[in-house]
Structure 1
Amino acid sequence: MRVSHSFSADFDDPNLVSTAGLLPVMGLAEDAGLHELLADRVSVPGPAGANAAVKIPALVAGMVAGADSISDMGLLRHGGMGRLFTAGRAPTTLGTHLRAYTFGHVRQLDAVSSRLLANLADRVPGLVAGADQVAYLDVDDTIRQTHGYAKQGTGYGYSGVRGLNAQLATLSTPTVAPVIAATRLRRGSAASAHGAPRLIAEAVATAQKAGATGTITVRADSAYYNRDVVAAARTGGARFSITARMDPAVTAAISRIPEEDWVGIEYPQAIFDEQEGRWISDAEVAEIPYTAFTSRRKAEHVTARLIVRRVKRLNPAGAPVGQDELLTAYRHHAVFTDSSLGMLEAEASHRDHAIVEQVIADLKNGPLAHLPSGVFTANAAWLVCAAMAFNLTRAAGVIASKRHARARTATIRAQLIQVPARIANHARKWRLHLPTAWPWQSAWESLFDRAHATATAIA
């Protein structure tokens, strides 16, 4: 492709917009009751905290469109955006609003996010399709790096990086892409499992409101292997599938598994073994009953299944000191679970825990590229807005097409949201003129028609 002519450029058209896809997406947000939920449940005092029902949707819209900082919210104020939307606010106003939040106000925003997801699931049935049978809540956390020492709450966490710690619980089913059921921002030095029982309890409740009336399984890695996490899952009526730490009790249980119990398993697609530093395509799996957390009082012991996957070590000499010959020859990965699935199905299901890592990567490629404020509670509110923006984008993808239903948010943004358009008025009716031969025209029209039908019904 080559430049065809010599051009000049002028920023002089007041009727152009670069993000025409925001129109149907924010129409979907209105249909799901975002503004009413904010008006009813978020009450931040003072002039800076006023009008949350206007300012929070503006922040969410900016994130849907690709904003990853407060200053990026200026993309909502170009060209004809004032004709597409009312009550726009300057980026500085939105930043001031977030800085007025306390922890209690962030919790109010959490309640809005939970109910918004439930309303979206009700209006977009495919969003959590199959959750009435089987659903998974994946819990994990990530360090969002910060620079300088002005931000409140920063510290050095398990990764050795200075920043803030964002904890997430995602809701998914075997047939649909994940949405975010709960979030929490913690200090950078927080342990992974800190506050996890409460997050899990809220995520399970949100999942049930969103239609997850079947079996819910909470999946997590070894950082969450503790009795309180298991208790939170069980109290909410969910099952659990958690990577067990290789402590002496677990190691002893593995050594008791008879050699004839190990069953070979081949992976359709190779998986990367981080500890071995290589791709593996086969392994062996076995299980044994196991009682965990025996250092606590007897009433708090938990008896379930220990499902173990073993892979031959390339370098047995690198095995931990003190292990017997069996454990030296293999590297073991144990999962503590009360799943009702068969052994191989339960092991494969747990490996799908990587879903939450994909969501974290999506967020870091979008609104969590930065935590933009020096005020901790402002960043906590920003994280909740990011979750709402993610869920809205996911719902838009489900409406648009089967392909977009499972696409990354960056793909949905590029193909359905960041679509240029010119606004025109014909016979007292507003109309958008979009590019001819847009490759994703059909998907965009499906999304737009759904929002337009909703607006007509409301009118």
Structure 2
Amino acid sequence: MRVSHSFSAEFDDDNLIAAGGLVPVMLLAESAGLSDLVDAHITLAGSAGANAQVKVGALVGGMVAGADSISDMDLVRHGGMGRAFSELRAPTTLGTHLRGYKFGHVRQLDAIASRLLAALAARVPALVSGVDEMAYVDLDDTIRETHGYAKQGAGYGYSGVKGLNALVATLSTPTAAPVIAGIRLRKGSVKSPRGAGKMIAEALAAARRAGAGGMVTVRADSAFYQHDVVAAVRRGGAHFSITARMDAAVVAAISRIPEEAWVGIKYPEAIWDEDEQRWVSDADVAEIHYTAFTSRKKDDHTSARLIVRRVKRLNPRSVPQGQGEMFNVYRHHAVFTDSPLSMLQAEAAHRDHAIIEQVIADLKNGPLAHMPSAVFTANSAWTVLAAIAFNLTRAAGVLASRFHAKARMATIRAQLIAVPARIANRARTWLLHLPRNWPWQQAWDELFETASGQLTAAT
């Protein structure tokens, strides 16, 4: 492909917008009651809190359109955006709004995010399809790298990277891509399980509001293998499936598994072995009854299943001495769970915990590419707004097509949101002129018509 003519360029079109897909997404947000929720919950005082519903809507809309910093919020003030949306705000105004947040106001945003997810699930049932039968709440944390000395709360955590720590909980089903059920920004030096019990309780409550009335399983990696996490899951009426740390008690339990108990399996699609840094297409699986946390008081002892997957080592000589012949030949991956599923089903379901990594990657490739403020609570509010934007974008993808229902956020943004449009007035109605032969026109039309219809029904 080559440029066909000699061009000149002028930025002079007052009716052109670069993100035509933002119109149906914000229609969806309105029909789900985002403005009403902000009015009902945010109690921010003074000039920072004035017109909070307008400022929150602008921040969320900017994030959906691709903004990853406060200055990027100018993205929603170009061309004809003033015709498409009312009461736009400058980035400086939005920054002042964010810096006015205290911890309690961030918790108010958490309440809004939870209730908006429930409203989206009610209006877009396929967003969490099958949640009434089986659902998974996945828990993980990530470090968002920061630079300089001005960021409140920045520190060196388990990764050795200086930054802030975000704890994320997602809700998914076997047929629906994950949405964010809870998110919290923490100091960079915090340990992974800090506050996990409360996050689990709130994520399970959000899942119930979204319709999770059947079996719910909380999945997490070995960083969350501790009594307080398991106890929080059980208090929430859910099952747990947590990677067990290979401590002496777990190693001893695995050693007691008889050789005939191991069941060989082949994976239709190879899985990635993080320890060996290679793809694995077959393994052996077995289980044994196990009581965890025996170093604590007796009431805290927890008995459940230890499901173990073993994979042959590529380099047996690298094994530490004293672990026995079985550990010289195989690497073992243990899952502590009270899941009622069969052994192979439970093992496969736990491996799907990796789905949360895609959510974290989407956040880091989007609104959480930066922590935009030096103020910790402002960054905390920004993080919750990023989760709201994520869920709105996911709901828009579900309305658009089966492909977009599980697509990456960047894909949805490129194909459905960042569609150039020219605003015109015809027969006393507003019209969006979009590019002819847009490859995803059918999906965009489906999103627009459904979102418009839902707002009409809501009003």
Q: What TM-score comes out, normalization by structure 2 length? A: 0.99
The correspondence of residues 362-381 of structure 1 with structure 2, limited to 5 A, is 362-381=362-381
Q: Distance in 1 between matches of 2:25 and 2:275?
A: 42
Question: Which residue matches 1:128?
Answer: 128
Give the letter aligned to residue 270 of structure 1.
A
Q: Distance in 1 between matches of 2:348 and 2:183?
A: 26
TM-aligned CA deviation for residue 50 of structure 1: 2.1
Does residue 411 of the first structure (1) align with residue 395 of the second (2)? no
**Residues 416 and 321 of structure 1: is their aligned pair in 2 closer, same or farther, counting only changes over 3 Å?**
same
The count of aligned residue pairs is 459
SS at match of 1:192: coil
TM-aligned CA deviation for residue 458 of structure 1: 4.5
Give the letter aligned to residue 188 of structure 1.
G
Give the letter aligned to residue 407 of structure 1.
A
Q: Distance in 2 between matches of 1:457 and 1:273?
A: 50
Spell out, residue by residue over 1:371-418, the C-alpha distance to the aligned partner (whole angstroms, 9 max, x if none): 110000000000000000000000001101111101111111000000
Q: Given that residues 59 and 73 in structure 2 are in contact (C-alpha distance below 8 angstroms), is that contact kept between their aligned partners in structure 1?
A: yes
SS at match of 2:19: coil
Does residue 242 of the first structure (1) align with residue 272 of the second (2)? no
Q: Distance in 2 between matches of 1:40 and 1:168?
A: 25
SS at match of 2:349: helix
Structure 2 stretches lacking a partner, 5+ long: none
Q: Distance in 2 between matches of 1:320 and 1:171?
A: 39
Q: Distance in 1 between matches of 2:49 and 2:155?
A: 28
Give the letter aligned to residue 332 of structure 1.
H
Q: Distance in 2 between matches of 1:182 and 1:320?
A: 40
Question: Which residue matches 2:308?
Answer: 308
SS at match of 2:386: helix
Q: Distance in 2 between matches of 1:457 and 1:246?
A: 55
The correspondence of residues 8-19 of structure 1 with structure 2, limited to 5 A, is 8-19=8-19
TM-aligned CA deviation for residue 291 of structure 1: 0.3
The correspondence of residues 47-446 of structure 1 with structure 2, limited to 5 A, is 47-446=47-446
Give the letter aligned to residue 77 of structure 2.
R
Give the letter aligned to residue 7 of structure 2.
F
| Structure 1 range deviating more: 272-281 or 90-99 | 272-281
TM-aligned CA deviation for residue 455 of structure 1: 3.3
Q: Distance in 2 between matches of 1:255 and 1:114?
A: 44
SS at match of 2:158: coil
SS at match of 1:163: strand
Q: Distance in 2 between matches of 1:297 and 1:458?
A: 54
Q: What TM-score comes out, normalization by structure 1 length? A: 0.99
Structure 1 stretches lacking a partner, 5+ long: none
Question: Which residue matches 2:39?
Answer: 39
The correspondence of residues 19-30 of structure 1 with structure 2, limited to 5 A, is 19-30=19-30
SS at match of 1:97: helix
TM-aligned CA deviation for residue 457 of structure 1: 3.1
Spell out, residue by residue over 1:287-323, the C-alpha distance to the aligned partner (whole angstroms, 9 max, x if none): 0000000111111111000000001111112113321
Q: Distance in 1 between matches of 2:189 and 2:76?
A: 35
**Residues 225 and 323 of structure 1: is their aligned pair in 2 closer, same or farther, counting only changes over 3 Å?**
same
Spell out, residue by residue over 1:163-190, the C-alpha distance to the aligned partner (whole angstroms, 9 max, x if none): 0000100000000110000001000000
Q: Distance in 2 between matches of 1:312 and 1:304?
A: 26
Q: Distance in 2 between matches of 1:402 and 1:260?
A: 44
Q: Given that residues 28 and 452 in structure 2 are in contact (C-alpha distance below 8 angstroms), is that contact kept between their aligned partners in structure 1?
A: no
Moved over 6 A (4+): none
Q: Distance in 2 between matches of 1:116 and 1:452?
A: 18
SS at match of 2:333: strand
Identity score, percent: 72
TM-aligned CA deviation for residue 326 of structure 1: 1.1
TM-aligned CA deviation for residue 51 of structure 1: 1.9
| Structure 1 range deviating more: 321-330 or 121-130 | 321-330
Q: Distance in 1 between matches of 2:376 and 2:264?
A: 49
TM-aligned CA deviation for residue 199 of structure 1: 0.2
Question: Which residue matches 2:453?
Answer: 453
TM-aligned CA deviation for residue 454 of structure 1: 2.5
Q: Distance in 2 between matches of 1:422 and 1:174?
A: 40
